[in-house]
A and B are shown apart, each in its own frame.
Chain A
Amino acid sequence: MANNSFQGTKINPTRFNKSQLPFYAFLVPFSMLMLLPIIFIVNHAFKPQSELFAYPPKFFVTRPTFDNFTELSRIVSSSGVPFSRYLVNSILITLIGVTLAIFITAFSAYALSKLKFRGKKFLFELNTLALMFVPIAVQIPRYLIIAKSGLIDSYAAHILPVIVMPVAMFLIKQFIDQTPNELIESAKIDGASEMQIFMKIVLPIISPAIATVGILAFQAIWNDTTTSVLYINDESKRTLAFYMMSLTSAQGNSVAGQGIAAAAGLMMFIPNLVLFIILQSKVMNTMAHSGIK
């Protein structure tokens, strides 16, 4: 094997070799440190009252209970708007938002990558410029636009502003650039329209990029609190993320409330993590084409 004589870096090795030990020696303690806050919140969420008040405070839970979660649901149901309402709002908004985000970005990416029209280069440049766009900077004009178009208190106000994701468009476009033109050309000869080609040929090929955009959109929408704060006055149309935020900032200051705050934080965090773990190999596949050239 050539590997025996080659002493340098082996990228993406197939199995363990003792030359990798220094990396493990750094990565293991470092990732433990990174994981600490998350382990902490998991433990905190399952602590009974007695352990929350314990002095000196303990890191690990010794007798885990679901008390904090039941207490959380009790507080929610006494607040007038049922918990299920926030949950349904969030699920509905996330579902519609993610679907729309995937389609509009993939449509645009396909056009910018494979179709011929004037101004295509300009649009891509504009999108690359928009990678540097910081939405938080233009909250005020955005608020005025939403207000003027009568979208205040509508579900559209939760969805439309957040599904414009220049990063997502950029990633899909770079990914579509890799698909061979021959496939598209031969479908065209068979008489398929551009939309048919996109739906039947391109969409299946770019599924890793679609999964990645799905994750990014999910994170952006599921965790979003600004739309609920700025554009929604009707409590029954706000989202779970907003409710959890207001709950934890009200409860987080008392020791008894800490467990509830931890339980709420955990409930918001878990869906993000699970989705990423399921789709991580597709994400990595997409990221290989993420470069700015």
Chain B
Amino acid sequence: MISKMNRPAWFIVPYWTLFFVFVVVPVLAAIFLSFTYFNAIQAPTFIGITNYIELITMDTVFMQFVLSNTLKFALIVGPVGYILSFLLAWMLAQIPAKPRTIFAIILYSPSLTFGVALASMWRIIFSDDSQGYLNSLLLNWGVILEPIQFLQSPQYLMTIMIVVSLWSSMGVGFLAMLAGVLNIDQTLYEAAYMDGIRNRAQEIFYITVPSMKPQMLFGAVMAVVTTFQAGGIGVALSGTNPTPQYAGQLIVNHIEDFGFIRYMMGYAAAISVILLLLVYFISKITWRLLGERE
């Protein structure tokens, strides 16, 4: 049988059927549902752009907290994580293979803890009472007089979310950039020095980054997507959705809140569409910043 399988369809159909069912259809369905009222029990009824109008004009939580939280979270975690990934990859490329492998494994391993598996660990470290590790440390050093409710107070929750996300941001994009730096032709550097490049900063800007642009782009897309995907973290840390005073509420949590807690699925779909557009446009802007594709 295998000796007769020649048609491209054998190769294409399995992946693209699933792609169609679980990527294309859901996106189209989300767009459709976003124009309806749908409570998961009765059939959806068409209500035009009411959901979008409500989202912009009436949903004070969305406009006041969710959107600004998401942008703040994304604009810090995305670029900082990305630049950090690049710098670490660049430094790792300058040391011999054995220690490099060890460092790479250490730096990559936090990204393996994504999801909620290790949220409990952070809850222990940032625990509210004097038993919490950070609290007890600060109390001992005399920095604070009484324990801080890190995970329940709006002032700290967002900062902790950002720190935890940055900690685990050396993922696939980081590995791609490390491979990218390592693959640059050594003679390019030697030639550049003859042409008058003088220091490492110039090296990075004139040789390293341009030579590994494809990996830089891949890393950028990964950074944007994982940042927006990381939405569960606030809920996992504080243990509640909505998070205390909406301090850690990101778009992803808002979708869950309306879709699976209040069963306003049409409305939740409208938020989903906004999220997809946001990721798309931010990726596009990033590509622009890093240089056009062709």
Contacts and interface: CB of A to CB of B under 8 A. Distances in A.
Contact of B180 (A10, A224, A265, A288): A288
B177 to A, nearest CB: 8
Contact of B283 (A2, A132, A277): A132
Contact of B124 (A105, A193, A261): A261
Contacts of B88: 27, 30
A132 B136 contact: no
B189 A55 contact: no
B94 A169 contact: no
A141 B269 contact: yes
B252 A111 contact: no
B225 interface: yes
Contacts of A160: 18, 21-22
Contact of B2 (A199, A268, A286): A199
Contacts of B99: 24
Interface size class of A (residues with CB under 8 A): 35 or more
Interface size class of B (residues with CB under 8 A): 35 or more
Given A8-B189, A164-B18, A287 B33 contact: no
Nearest to A287: B179
A141 B16 contact: no
Nearest to B27: A138
A134 B3 contact: no
Nearest to B115: A223
B172 interface: yes
Nearest to A33: B167
Contacts of B60: none
B26 A11 contact: no
A115 B272 CA distance: 36
B228 interface: yes
Chain B contact surface mostly: helix
B155 interface: no
A150 interface: no
Interface string A104-126: 11011011000111000001000
Contacts of A2: 190
Given A104-B14, A164-B23, A269-B117, A138 B30 contact: yes
Contacts of A139: 255-256, 259-260, 272
Given A34-B110, A137-B272, A280-B104, A249 B131 contact: no
A54 to B, nearest CB: 9
Contacts of A249: 116, 119-120, 239
Given A37-B125, A265-B120, A194 B214 contact: no
Contacts of B118: 37, 41, 265, 269
Interface stretch (A13-21, A80-88, A179-187): A13-21
A107 B15 contact: yes
B212 to A, nearest CB: 7
B229 A284 contact: no
A232 interface: no
A127 B221 CA distance: 13
A283 interface: yes
Interface of B: 2-8, 10-12, 14-16, 18-19, 21-23, 25-27, 29-30, 33, 88, 91-97, 99, 101, 103-110, 112-125, 130-133, 136, 139-140, 167, 170, 172, 175-176, 178-184, 186, 189-190, 192-193, 197, 200, 203, 212-215, 217-218, 221-222, 224-225, 228-229, 231-232, 239, 252, 255-256, 259-260, 265, 268-269, 272, 275-276, 279-280, 283, 293
24 contacts: A10-B186, A20-B94, A40-B121, A104-B18, A107-B10, A138-B26, A139-B255, A140-B33, A141-B29, A141-B269, A145-B29, A164-B22, A195-B3, A195-B6, A198-B11, A253-B123, A269-B118, A280-B105, A288-B180, A288-B183, A290-B218, A291-B180, A292-B293, A293-B293
